[in-house]
Structure 1
Amino acid sequence: MLRELNSYRPLTEGELLRLREEFLINFTYNSNAIEGNTLTLQETALILKEGITIDRKPLKDHLEAVGHKEAWLYVEELVKNKVQISEKVIKEIQSLVLMDRREDRGVYRRVPVTIMGAAYTPPQPYLVPSLMEQLVKKYQEMIALHIIERISNFHLAFETIHPFLDGNGRTGRLLLNLELMKEGYPPINIKFADRRRYYEAFISYSKGNDSTEMVSLIGEYLLEELRKYLEIIRNANEI
């Protein structure tokens, strides 16, 4: 399907810009909503496109929307330059995501944390630096695996380590898309409505390092995006 998509005459810069803008709004809304942000899709669009402040909504929610957009624009630059995942890149993305918490930006957590409703407890803070170093090294060595399997395992391990005090989920989903796009795939948008299935993939992983559910979830989302892009570009070429 990716090969067929690449065989068509490319969309114009204006058309691509419109699709990117639409994706960014939806991705920002869903990724933030998964983490408890109260903005609606329409409110997210107004903030990102018009810079409008939404009455009776917390400043924190506004800053999360703007921070996620800035992090996404940075990810696009990383894709363009084919930059490898590193601890530096991870910290830079999290720093942009966490616009509302300046003191916690780009810093691994120094206190224990628990994740509400999760079936696992993240490792003690003194283990985080070495675990992150090992994770990045292992990911770079998994070159033989298909990108969906590679990034699924990385995403599961990253969120399980929970290296930062805040912003782990949003940072992890941005990293996921960074790697997909570097391989020529469209980015995916894990929806707030699917959060239960998303959480269950982490539970399966915590019980025995089983990444099957996450691989399936990411694969399905990717197929959905490829079909959508293919339909759009087919119609554009027919016109």
Structure 2
Amino acid sequence: MDLKLIEKYKALGIADILDHEKFNNISVVHHSTVLEGSTLTEVETQVLINEGLTPKGKPIIHSLMVTDHFSALKFILKEAGKKRPISVPLIQEINSLAIRNTGSVYNTILGVVDATKGEFRKGNVTAGNTYFPNYDKVKDLTRDLADKISGMMKSNISVVDQLRLSFDAHYSLVSIHPFYDGNGRTSRLLMNYIQHYYKLPLAIVHKENKADYIQALIDTREKQDLSVFRGFMDKEYTHLLKSEIQRFQEIKHPKKGRGFSFLF
């Protein structure tokens, strides 16, 4: 990761621009929900969040995915700002908010699981050829992960290690797959939580790179090498920062004849 990009981003004061945070948050929500199947465009996402208007002709569940994710994002930004430690209840609360109106209730031989309440799964799950840990290990694995993250966040670590911690937490939680619904969204929100905790720009997994994202997760598991996923996220983060810096500079110093334009 080129730390000069982070320094330049902060020095330009991009995050201090009026409404930039909200526009950036909308982008985070848009890309994350599209990864999970939403068909809303970024403009439709913006209109839904800002004005409460759902796009015509598209499944209502896609709009609910967006509004749920936005609520969860606002929650993690607030809690990270208060420096709340990472814990199992926090992770469950993030999951609960992320799928509040889209999660399901599962009847299993071990009992009922209401996914909308952030309850852990009580059954084994797979995704393609990937087998996730047995359900009876989920609680302990999630607790161990939360304790490890929280412990590292109590120490004085470099910016590089802060970013790696956020990427590793993302990978580790989605690999545990502790919930029936919303594991990807929850894992990306946990990553964003750590980034906001350290006052870093929020990372986005861009929708157009979904196949590479999934492949990076698979390759990391097969090779048991976190550097694979870190490398993918480094590229995503670098792309995001460069795009934001370029857009800001074009607004501040538009090329002759181009004039001023808004993203939305």
Name the TM-score class by shorter chain: 0.7 to 0.9
Runs of 4+ that moved beyond 6 A: 235-239
> How far apart are the structure 1 equivalents of 2:233 and 2:221?
18
Q: Is the 2:206–2:236 contact (alpha carbons within 8 Å) kept by the matching residues of 1?
A: no
Shift in CA distance, 214/11, structure 1 to aligned 2, threshold 3 Å: closer
Q: Does structure 1 residue 213 correspond to structure 2 residue 217? A: no
Compute the displacement of 1:139 (Å): 2.3
Alignment of 1:43-82 (within 5 A): 43-82=44-83
| AA in 2 matched with 1:133 | R
TM-score, L = length of structure 2:
0.79
| AA in 1 matched with 2:188 | R
Counterpart for residue 186 of structure 2: 171
Runs of at least 5 residues in structure 2 that lack an aligned partner in the other structure: 105-113, 255-264
Shift in CA distance, 32/238, structure 1 to aligned 2, threshold 3 Å: closer
| AA in 2 matched with 1:187 | L
**Larger-Rg structure:** 2
* Offset from partner CA, 1:129-166 (integer Å, 9 cap, x none): 01111111222344557122222222211111100110
Compute the displacement of 1:82 (Å): 1.8
Please give the root-mean-square deviation of Cα atoms over the aligned residues, in Å: 2.4
> How far apart are the structure 1 equivalents of 2:81 and 2:61?
30
Counterpart for residue 207 of structure 2: 192
> How far apart are the structure 2 equivalents of 1:82 and 1:226?
24
Q: Is the 1:186–1:225 contact (alpha carbons within 8 Å) kept by the matching residues of 2?
A: no
TM-score, L = length of structure 1:
0.86
Q: Does structure 1 residue 226 correspond to structure 2 residue 238? A: no
Counterpart for residue 29 of structure 1: 30
The structure whose RCO (Cα within 8 Å, separation 6+) is larger is 1
* Offset from partner CA, 1:23-72 (integer Å, 9 cap, x none): 22222121111111222223222211221122232221111110011011
Compute the displacement of 1:189 (Å): 1.4
Counterpart for residue 124 of structure 1: 134
Counterpart for residue 104 of structure 1: 115
Runs of at least 5 residues in structure 1 that lack an aligned partner in the other structure: none
| AA in 1 matched with 2:75 | Y
> How far apart are the structure 2 equivalents of 1:5 and 1:195?
25
Shift in CA distance, 173/110, structure 1 to aligned 2, threshold 3 Å: same
> How far apart are the structure 1 equivalents of 2:206 and 2:251?
27
